[in-house]
Amino acid sequence: AEQGVCASRCGVEHHAHPIPVTFYERKAA
């Protein structure tokens, strides 16, 4: 679920985003 939210915000640049996934996990939590 976290990856889906990050993908929606980052778009195609999700994998190239400098911010770690943990950042989005905390914001979503």
Put simply, whether the predicted model's pTM sits higher than 0.75 gets the answer: no
What pLDDT shows up at residue 1? Answer: 47
Question: Taken in order 17, 3, 5, 26, is the CA torsion positive or negative?
Answer: negative
Alpha-carbon span 4 to 14, nearest angstrom: 10
Q: What is the pLDDT of residues 1-29, one digit of tens each?
A: 455 666 566 565 555 556 666 776 777 65
What pLDDT shows up at residue 26? Answer: 74
What pLDDT shows up at residue 7? Answer: 58
Q: Label residues 1-29 b or e (16+ Cβ within 10 Å = b).
A: eeeeebeeeeeeeeeeeeeeeeebeeeee
